[in-house]
Every structure is written in structure tokens, then in C-alpha cells.
Chains A and B, each alone.
Chain A
Amino acid sequence: DAGVTQSPTHLIKTRGQQVTLRCSPKSGHDTVSWYQQALGQGPQFIFQYYEEEERQRGNFPDRFSGHQFPNYSSELNVNALLLGDSALYLCASSLGGAFYNYGYTFGSGTRLTVV
């Protein structure tokens, strides 16, 4: 089992552009959460998808949007990129939403650099 898979691993974009990050959850998991981790900081919750719907959202602007597909994989889209969006984006999967029994399984992240 490859666990949580994220692509790409690294990405460089220009201010104002749009970016799409992808995540495949661990086998058997159906819930995907996205986190942003700035340098030297802990991860910050962006949103969570369950049953193809955004179930919960953190304090991020509407420029951040997402999607979950029927196979439980997910995308994170960021529009109108700002320099401050440069960060490591982490995907985490869990089972049935009841993560407190199992905890999250994290991917290794996508490093986004905005220039």
C-alpha cells in the first residue's frame, strides 16, 4: 500500500497564476483533508472532503477550492496565486470521517513556490 500519494512533489508558479494539486488517499480511506504548512509553522487546515462534498473549511479565502472524485481522490485548486501562498501543501486521508479512532495518514506533500 503506497499510503497517501500527492502530485506533483514540487511546483513553481508565477503570481496571478492558478495551480492544481492532486491527492490519492490511502487504500480504504474515503475522507481527504488539505493542510497548508508555511516554513517554520505547523500545518493549517484548509478544508475536508467527504462523500464528494466539502464538509468543513478553515480560514482560507475562496481562492482555495477543492474537489473530491468518486474514487475518493481529491484536488486542491488555488487561483490568483500570491507570494504568500508559497508553502508545503499536505493531504491527509482518514476513514469514514471518524478519524479520532485512527488518526490521519499524511502524504509527503507538494512544495509550491510562487515567484
Chain B
Amino acid sequence: AQRVTQPEKLLSVFKGAPVELKCNYSYSGSPELFWYVQYSRQRLQLLLRHISRESIKGFTADLNKGETSFHLKKPFAQEEDSAMYYCALSKSGNTGKLIFGQGTTLQVKP
């Protein structure tokens, strides 16, 4: 079954601390992986995707096919990073559905 698991509902860290939001997936084949973010009172937006291997707002994510994981990392958290983060996957080259995890709320305390 295709599934995305984000084991933490809430992750609370202090400003300046490292952040790692976990994402594990179950998929037979080669998926494309994404992280989406939703800031307070804003709409869901794409943060990064594994195929572009880019760093956005200091966040990076590496696809580990052996562990079927796509954890989101940032070395030094900022208060403005506080938001809901969703990991999602789709079939490689597929132009249809995204499968989302349940989301992790990141709370960065001052």
C-alpha cells in the first residue's frame, strides 16, 4: 500500500536548535517526494522536492531509498519556521495524485 507516515504530530524546539522532521514512506516503485508547508492563516505551499535537490529557507531533505525516508532538516531553527509541515509522495512521472502524511506541527520557541 502507498503510505506516508509522519510519526510526530508536534515537534517543539528552541530557536537556534537543529530541526529534523521525520517522514517515512511505503511505495513499490520509484516515487517522487515533496515537503509542503502551511504557515498560520496561509495556504499550503511547496517547500521542496527531492528531484531538484535544492535548499529552501535553509531546509534540506535527502531521499533515502534504503530506509524509505525523506526527513526534512534545518541546522538552526528560526521562529518564522513555526508551521505545519506535510510530507507527500507521488508516482514518479505521475501527473495525478499526491499522497500526504498527517503532518507535523513545528513549534520554534524563542
Contacts and interface: CB of A to CB of B under 8 A. Distances in A.
Interface in A32-51: 33, 35, 40-45, 48, 50
A106 B98 CA distance: 12
Contacts of B98: 33, 35, 43, 45, 104
B102 A106 contact: no
Interface string A89-112: 010001001111001111111000
B44 A100 contact: no
A17 to B, nearest CB: 27
Q: Chain A interface: which size bin? A: 20 to 34
B101 A42 contact: yes
Nearest to B93: A100
A55 interface: yes
A100 B95 contact: yes
A58 B97 contact: yes
Interface of A: 3-4, 31, 33, 35, 40-45, 48, 50, 55-56, 58, 90, 94, 97-100, 103-109
20 contacts: A3-B43, A33-B96, A42-B4, A42-B100, A43-B86, A44-B100, A45-B98, A48-B96, A48-B97, A55-B95, A55-B96, A99-B90, A100-B32, A100-B92, A100-B94, A100-B95, A104-B98, A106-B43, A106-B44, A107-B43
